[in-house]
Structure 1
Amino acid sequence: MRGSWRPCRSTSPRSAPTAPRFDNRRWAGFEPRPGDIFVCTPPKCGTTWTQAIVASLLWPDGKAPGRS
């Protein structure tokens, strides 16, 4: 149908993911430190791009700690 709009993905709830990368129990003992920054994106949704944006905001001169 020309000119109509349809979502490209279903927005209905799905079952809980079971893949190890989605298992948040591994973070149960994690203690964040002051100044920690979390970049949280779903898989295949621009994680590397988002990390690059955060890094450029934190270190506009491109000199991140630990990099020469």
Structure 2
Amino acid sequence: MRFGDIAPGIVEAIYMIDDLNTIERLILVAANAPTLGIYLEEMEAGEGNFRMVGERFNPIESMLGGGYSNGEKK
């Protein structure tokens, strides 16, 4: 819902995840990543990674126009 329509291949990749820690991490990422692109970067990071740091994970700041997009400040 947060990112609108998602390509079927992405949805299938999410359904294939069977590690509960990875699923939990991606739920947190989905709640905090301001763009689908940032979410996909985290999804591709694989199991055992937890990198949600910095302003690029501040969805409120991004909505106000001062956040990060693709790692660069607007």
TM-score, normalised by the number of residues in structure 2: 0.25
Structure with higher RCO (Cα < 8 A, 6+ apart) = 2
TM-score, normalised by the number of residues in structure 1: 0.27
- The structure having more radius of gyration, on CA atoms, is 1
